[in-house]
Each structure stands twice: as structure tokens, then as C-alpha cells.
Chains A and B, each alone.
With several copies, the nearest count.
Chain A
């Protein structure tokens, strides 16, 4: 077997040294009636690299890759062009095959990268401190809710109706076990988000208010106004961002009163990957709360010779030290995705992220204007970044399927996201990034015209 360096000669010599007659004999502690004397039945035996590659290629070809179709899907996962150098660098064996940097003397590569990553996220979010990443945006969102409840010692969580429903569902699932009280609502089909409606739901028992920015319909809420209202009631404002590129153009949440900013980092460096692995971002504006943060943190220090170096720090918050008293049970970050994000962000810099955001917005404006001209289509949004909602007279889910049959990946029907709310069925969420060409936009418009009844 190509991955196993021991030869039969080696095995014989080692068994002799160990004093065992066979490898099977080393498993003597397994009850003999349960021990398997040969390969598990019903499964194939080992295969050549060529055969496995062929098999996996055959599976991959059963998928329609985004590059092979005009592509307008977003809703929490965004397709951006990832520079080739990102993927090259994350495949360096020293990054790819390293463990969590618990031995900092031989892990400065990962550690310095994480310090840089934390700094980049903090600046993008307008926050004081960011952690070294979490599983994804949805789990980061829940961790933010849990942290706010810990900090405020309150249990009521007000969710904006326009929070990504999968994120809301994760929060609801977890809250069942922690006994937090979740106050959700349905999104209103208005050109601007119903910030006032949200504010009226904040009360003195509220631990946190969770708002998505831009929201699941692509609209941009007035964070400062919501922050002021939340703070007046002693609640924390948690801002969720699923599209970091938007923050190249929009004011940072941390500058608008957010207490905790969390989000999905996938859009930069990581790729779509059918949903994972992704990359949760987590940052706070008040550095005094850092000991209440979940997840790994990398900090600067010096070595015995006085040289600058980096280590994982404040790990007394974590489960391998605190066990049942940990701030979270999380013990993995999304290191390689954080690296990809950080490299992409380094390649962009301030100029690049701003320009990329501008290009996304420019194309989205063109698309919105063009699609508004399709008969039977109205654009809901008054404001948006690179994602907006079309209102159709029919169930948008069927339209999405019809578009796909014609080779166009046209967006997400709101009925898929909010299956319980009949009034949202006509909504079609369309996302336009720099990967869409003007021809793609035109194809979407004309195909939409074809498939609309």
C-alpha cells in the first residue's frame, strides 16, 4: 500500500522486538468474538491512485461547477475570484500539515499568520480584538449570542427577521439546550429593513440583538440606530456579516456601535466548496471583554533571547484547561481557511478590497437595473451592496429550477430559506460579484424573461 512504509520484513522484525507473534495478537484486548479477522465485509479493497482519481472525477462531473454557468447565487456563500497564489501558498506542506501551534518555537509561521489575520479582521470589522477564527459564520453567530448572555447575565435574544434563517436556526437549536429565550420574527418585505420594528422588540431583559449587515434580502440596516436602542436597554448589539467584501464599501460595524461582530469569511480566499470548510470571524469592540471570548487567540510575546514571537494565549478560557467551565467547547479553529483569507486580504490591501467592493457594487447596480426591466419583475431593495431581492408573481423556487434547466444558476428562492412563510415565496435573491460578466447578466435577464409565465 503506497501510504504504508512498513515492509513485511520490517513487520516481522518489529513483532519480534515486541514479543508478539502477529499484529492480530496485539489486539488481544478486543473480545475475540468481536474482533474482525479480515477486511470489513461489503467494502471494496485498496485501489490505485489512478482508479480513485477516475472515480472521484466522475463524481465531480455530476456537479455543475459555477464557472460553467452564469452564476448569481449568494445567500451566505459568495463566489469571488481567488488569486492562484493563495492556493499555492496554503499547499505549502509546512502550513498544510502542521498541527495546532501548541509548540510555538516551531510554529511561528502559523502563529504570526494568525496574529496578522486577527489584526486584519479587527480592522475590517472596526473592532479592537478578533479571534483566530471559528468553524463558520453560523456557529460564530451562536457563540456571540452565548457570549452576550454570559456578559450581560441575561437570557433573551432578539433576532432580526432578516437574519440568515440558517443562522437563526442554529441559534434556536443551541438555545434549546442552554435555555436562552429566542425572540425571532419573519422578515418584512419592505424596501428598507424594518429597524424600528426590531428596536421595539428590545426590552430590559434583552441580552443581545442580532442584526445581519447587509441582511438576507440584501438590504442595509441602520446599525447605529439599533446600537443606540440596544445599549439604552443594556443589551449588546451583535452584527452578523456574511459577505466581507461588502465591508470594503460599507462602514465597519464596529464603528457603528456594534459590540460583537461575527461573520462568514469564506468569500475571501476559501471558495464555495458546497458549504464547507468555511471560516467564522469573531471580533469585539471592547477589549476588556476579551476573557469572555470564545475560540483561540494568538498574542505577541518574546522568547528567551528577547526576540519577538507569537503564542496562543489566554487559553485558560478553553476546554482543555477549564474542562466543563470553558467558555465554549470549541477546540478547533479553521486555521487553513484563515490562512487563505489572510493571504487574499494581503493581496488586496486597502486599495484592493475597496476596488473589489466597488466592482461588485457596480455590476450589481447594472444587474438590478437590467432585471427591473424584465416584465413581471420588481426590485425590492432601496439599498444593497452586491445582493438584492426580486419580487416575482410566482414561486421563485420553480423559476430557479427552470433557470437551472437552461444552464443559468439564477439565485435563491426565498421559499427555500423561509419555507414557512407563504408571503416570501415570490422573492428571488440575486447576487452579483465580480465573477459575473455583462453577458452573464444579459443571459440571466433574457432567460428569466423566457421562464417567467
Chain B
């Protein structure tokens, strides 16, 4: 299972691309700036390249191999039609600056997807360009800041629940806000009274995740929104968990002003080992005018235009600026639209329902062997949350998670949300079959028992993975971040 590095197997003479031209006399149009030394990049022939990456891939786990119960990450099946569509030459081989008449289909994809996102969420408009969820959050918060500034309102505080994703406070801080925690009640939900008590003229916004990171729907969401609005603030919703409620309730009806949508979670664009993401942000009427450039607009003749600095008109003047060089994650838009059209309004609604049913099934089948802190709070949404209470001395959530690898599953999300000790956040999504979930439940029951019994073998799991536990402290102590020739 070992695979050497390209720097160890490749060399400067080998290559996997034929070129029509061999540089003998790089001519002088580059002035004095031509490269002098060796570039130091190893090459491989095509057969070696295919083998290297094929072998490497086999050291990875992916949804294609099995269950990926990663709470808050919505690891669902990535339909292969999406991949096929994204590779149609009319989508793959189009430049972002082509004349607008030659890209009406691309703008059509953006326009059609925007229509779906707006309609599903019950919002006014959507900013399509953000590159990922956190970028979308930033976009939303910048819209909020721009809107507040436009009315001359210099509020400085953003309220964030304790259970929020780390990106929430990071984003607020970046946008120049200080953040304060909102406490939770015993239920695992925002404490409405505490929130109301904190609201005031200094509060720019609250950032809420709904369904929240404990896997629960914020029952008081509408009341929260109303209270925030009444206090002159705006409501940001982290849309990471939209998969649980799509087609079941519209965030716009809950009073939300901005919410990013992770196309790579809810709408099945592949995670790809860490990206690319795509984070369009739906916006309420209050925020719509402040959305960043570029965006797609329908002209009177029915053709689609891309509004940029070049052709902005008066009604675009409130835009807060530009977040990225080009038009957003087009390749993800084609995939997400394909997914959406495949499911339709009925299929999306059913997917949300199945995802929630799967999570509740897991919650109820495991709560007798694992501590479920909010098990009594009623049905969960798309994820089931457990804690490590009852594990034997010295046994942790990490051990159980690594044990799961040996059972053929990807570990769940660990130690998040922070409000639960040794949290295990399990999100099955609608992708899993009942038989697959039953297998997972069996594995979890066995592991929970081993953690309670103090089975030592668990402490060194995984035993059947390409690697044993990796020494992360060693990596950080004296970071080795690029290959260099071994010494001596």
C-alpha cells in the first residue's frame, strides 16, 4: 500500500505530454526575464501517472465506497449524470469573458438555478458568486454590513450561538464585528429570552444555524427573527443544514435575511477531498440591493446579461463590491441544477424527509447504548447527536471513531458541537439504504460496548486502514510542508 512520491519516482527527463516544439532558442520577447536555473519539477510518463494516482486514490475513503456519517457535512451520493453534464463542451470549454451572445446557455444555467434557490427558500434574490460556504457567509455578513451602513447604522456586535460552526465568528470578525455568544437552553436550542434580553441598538445581526448543530430545528426561529428585526438587526442563517428542511419549510418564511447554501452539501456537488465548494447566498428584500457583482439579469428582449463594473446601472449602485474574479463556481452550478432538476420539487422534499427519517432511526436505535443529550427533545432533524458519557476511563470519542474505520465506515463528526462532551454527530443523509444503516447501527452498538468495557484494542484503532494513527503533533512541531532531497 505504499506509494512513493512523484519526486522519488519522476525525473526531469521524463514526461507524459508530447509537445510539438522543443525549446532550443527561447526568443527574446521575454526580455531578460527567462528562467535561468533548473525548475526542479519531476515528470512521469502517462502510464506511470495513471498508476501513481490510481494507487493513491485507493488509500482514500469516499462515499462511493461506503457510509460517510459526517454530521454537518451532508455527504450524499454524487450522481454521475452531474459529472457528465458538467463536461459538456458548452459548459466546460467556455471562457468567463466571452461575448455575452456566446454564453447565453451558461447564463441560463445560473438564472435557472437562481430561480430554484430563491423559490425553495422563499427569498427575494440570490448572490451566486461566493466560492464556498464560508465565502457565502462572508457575503451575507457583508451585505448586512452594507445595508446597515447604507442607513447610517454603525452597529458593532454579532450574536452567535455557542453551538455555531467556527466559521460564523471568524466571518463576523473579518467583517469588522465583535461577536458574543448566545446561550442555549436545556433542549439544545437558542434561549429566546436570553437572546431578547441581549438585543439592542448595538446588535447588527444574529447568526443562527437552523436546523442547528445539535440536529434540532429552532422552534422559535420566527420569533427570534421578529425580535431581531424589531431591534433593528438582521438575521443571518447558516444554511449548512438546509438538506433537512428543503421543500419542508422556507427560510424566508422564518424571517431570515441571508442564508448561504452549500451546493456541495445540499445539492450533491462532489466534495473532492476538500473542495471546490460553492456558496450562493439567498437574500431578503432588505439585503438584495447590496449583493456583490457580477450577477445575471434578464434584459427586456429576454436575453440574459451579466452585470459587472462595466455595465452597472443606477439600480445596481448599492452593491458592496466584488468577491471573486469571475462568475462563481459555474461547474458546480451545472451539477447542482442537474441534481435539482432530477429530483424536482417532490424529490427534494422526499430527500429531506428520508434524511430526517434515517437520522431519527439511528437516534432511536442507539440511544440505549450511547448518551443522547437531546434525545428527549423530540425528533431530531437530519443528524443524531451523542456524547461520550459512560465510556470507560481513558476511552474517548476519538477511539470509537477510529474503531469505526475498522468496521468499514468513515467516522462521524467528532467533538462538535462543542456544547456536548465528546460529541458524536451522525448524519446519514437520504443516500443510505435501510440495510446499510442497520449495519452501521450494529457496528456502533458493538463499538459503544467496547468503549464502555474498556477494550484496549480500540485505543490503537484503526488496525485495517492504510495507516495506523498518525502523529499530528510531530507534523506541527517542525513542519515539513514540501519535499526536499533527502540529506546525505
Contact = CB atoms under 8 A, between A and B. Distances in A.
Which of A130, A300, A364 is packed against the most chain B CB atoms within 10 Å? A300
A251 B33 contact: yes
B5 A351 contact: no
10 contacts: A5-B47, A30-B249, A61-B105, A63-B94, A272-B92, A273-B91, A301-B472, A326-B166, A347-B46, A349-B43
A92 B78 CA distance: 12
A359 interface: yes
A129 interface: yes
A361 to B, nearest CB: 7
A430 to B, nearest CB: 13
Contact of B476 (A25, A108, A314): A314
A299 B132 contact: no
A92 B351 contact: no
Q: On chain A, which size bracket covers the interface?
A: 35 or more
- Ordered nearest first, which 7 A-B pairs have the shortest CB separation? A349-B43, A173-B321, A275-B326, A336-B272, A60-B90, A93-B64, A62-B105
A67 B93 contact: yes
A167 B325 contact: yes
A39 B104 contact: no
Contacts of A103: 61, 401, 405, 410-411
A99 B18 contact: no
A340 to B, nearest CB: 10
B479 A76 contact: no
A161 B47 CA distance: 45
Contact of A335 (B73, B90, B275): B275
Contacts of A361: 26-27, 29-30
B134 A5 contact: no
Contact of A4 (B45, B96, B176, B323): B45
Interface string A362-375: 10110010000000
Contacts of B353: 23-24, 26
A205 interface: no
B191 to A, nearest CB: 16
Interface stretch (A151-159, A195-203, A228-236, A378-386): A378-386
Contacts of A64: 94, 98, 102-103
B39 A1 contact: no
Given A7-B14, A345-B41, A122 B90 contact: no
Nearest to A363: B21
B30 A333 contact: no
A77 interface: yes
A13 interface: yes
Interface string B253-280: 1100000000000000011111111100
Contact of B104 (A15, A63, A164): A63
B30 A302 contact: no
A358 B347 contact: no
B239 interface: no
A409 B409 CA distance: 50
A347 B44 contact: yes
B23 A352 contact: no
